[in-house]
């Protein structure tokens, strides 16, 4: 079936370093949503991108949606220990079913 | 207002038994989703409801899994004759509508352990 791929699966950084996770689809996506799941918690919505080439920022987080609407990225500048968790992207495949397809997530660990 | 709630928070059962998991969505949310998350894995879509109808059941892994929803309220996910591979956290989410642009609000999940 249709898939949304995320890389890397795991990433460890030193506090203060930057971090990027990538989300890719083989088919065009109608939108991309990003969620964060803290250890032991449940996914919490971060942001949504809809337009081709869209870039949105939330403090140290920068989200991009590719021009072809097939990929997206989340970049965190100067990571902090509070950034620890798993980041999921989710998108709707244009011609697919009705539900969002979630990527498998990128788990970020940060050491101080 | 209250968020999405799920019960029980933890369930331990023996292989072969049936289990029922419950989800209470945010009041007024017409769409409700069930996901499964195995340890250290991503979210696996199971089923979603628009009102009390289920337009997309494509994610249900086998006929042992079923779900129903009463009106635009509570939903139950039933797993019959549980197997060890059913062990996972089962997450429920709701959104205002079933539009793909709507934010999904997740509940805390039910951790199911099948011995």
Structure confidence by residue, pLDDT tens digits, B83-95:
999 999 999 999 9
Which pLDDT tens digit goes with each residue over B11-24?
999 999 999 999 99
Which pLDDT tens digit goes with each residue over B33-62?
999 999 878 888 899 898 888 877 878 999
A102 contacts in B (CB within 8 Å)?
35, 42-45
Does B100 sit within 8 Å of A92, measured CB to CB?
yes
Q: Comparing C-alpha atoms, which of B114, B111, B115 is closest to residue B21?
A: B111
d(C-alpha B54, C-alpha B73), whole Å: 13
Does A98 sit within 8 Å of B98, measured CB to CB?
yes
Q: Is B74 left (phi over 0), alpha (psi -120 to 50) or beta?
A: beta
Surface of A (29-58) touching B: CB under 8 A? 30-31, 33, 35, 41-45, 48, 50
| Average pLDDT in chain B | 91
d(C-alpha A52, C-alpha A46), whole Å: 19
Give the DSSP H/E element, type plus range, for residue A99: none
The residue written with tokens 């793909």 in the block is B100
What's the Cα-to-Cα distance from A101 to each of A13, A30, B4, B82, rounded to whole Å?
A: 28, 11, 20, 26
Does pLDDT of A98 surpass 90? Answer: no
| Cβ–Cβ contact B106 with A under 8 A | yes
d(C-alpha A41, C-alpha B40), whole Å: 12
Quickly list DSSP for B1-69: ----EEE-SEEEE-TT--EEEEEEPPTT--EEEEEEE-TT---EEEEEEETTEEEE-TT--STTEEEEE
Interface test with B, best of A99, A101, A102, A108 (most B CBs within 10 A): A99
d(C-alpha B115, C-alpha B108), whole Å: 22
Beta-carbon pairs below 8 A across chains A and B = 59
Min Cα separation A76/chain B (Å): 21
Q: Comparing C-alpha atoms, which of B107, B87, B82, B113 is closest to residue B22?
A: B107
State both tokens at B92: 């429920």
- CB-nearest to A99 from B42, B45, B108 is B45
How large a percentage of chain B has pLDDT more than 90?
67
pLDDT the model gives residue A3: 82
Does pLDDT of B99 surpass 80? Answer: no
| Cβ–Cβ contact A92 with B under 8 A | yes
Q: How many CA atoms lie within 13 A of A90 on its CB side?
A: 28
pLDDT the model gives residue A92: 83
Q: Please check whether residue B7 is in contact with residue B110, taking contact to mean a CB–CB distance below 8 angstroms.
A: yes
| Cβ–Cβ contact B99 with A under 8 A | no
Interface test with B, best of A32, A96, A100, A105 (most B CBs within 10 A): A100
Q: Comparing C-alpha atoms, which of B48, B68, B65 is closest to residue B57?
A: B48
Backbone angles phi, psi at A9, to 5 degrees: -75, -40
Q: Please check whether residue A106 is in contact with residue A87, taking contact to mean a CB–CB distance below 8 angstroms.
A: yes
Helix or strand or coil: residue B67? Answer: strand
Residue A39: closest CA among chain B residues belongs to which residue? Answer: B40
Q: Comparing C-alpha atoms, which of A65, A55, A57 is closest to residue A89?
A: A65
């Amino acid at each position: 079936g249709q898939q949304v791929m995320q890389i890397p699966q795991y990433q460890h950084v030193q506090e203060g370093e930057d971090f990027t996770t990538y989300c890719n689809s083989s088919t065009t996506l109608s939108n991309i949503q990003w969620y964060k799941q803290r250890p032991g918690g449940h996914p919490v919505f971060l942001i949504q991108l809809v337009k081709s080439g869209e870039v949105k920022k939330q403090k140290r987080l920068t989200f991009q949606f590719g021009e072809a609407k097939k990929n997206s990225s989340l970049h965190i500048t100067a990571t902090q220990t509070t950034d620890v968790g798993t980041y999921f992207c989710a998108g709707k495949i244009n011609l697919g079913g009705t539900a969002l397809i979630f990527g498998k997530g990128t788990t970020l660990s940060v050491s101080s | 207002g209250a968020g999405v709630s799920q019960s029980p928070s933890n369930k331990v059962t023996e292989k072969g038994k049936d289990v029922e998991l419950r989800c209470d969505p945010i009041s007024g949310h017409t769409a409700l989703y069930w996901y499964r998350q195995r340890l250290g894995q991503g979210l696996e879509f199971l089923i979603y409801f628009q009102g009390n109808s289920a337009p997309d059941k494509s994610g249900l892994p086998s006929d042992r899994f079923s779900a129903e929803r009463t009106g635009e309220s509570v939903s139950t996910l039933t797993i019959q004759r549980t197997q060890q591979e059913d062990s996972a956290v089962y997450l429920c989410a709701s959104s205002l509508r079933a539009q793909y642009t709507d934010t999904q609000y997740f509940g805390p999940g039910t951790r199911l352990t099948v011995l």
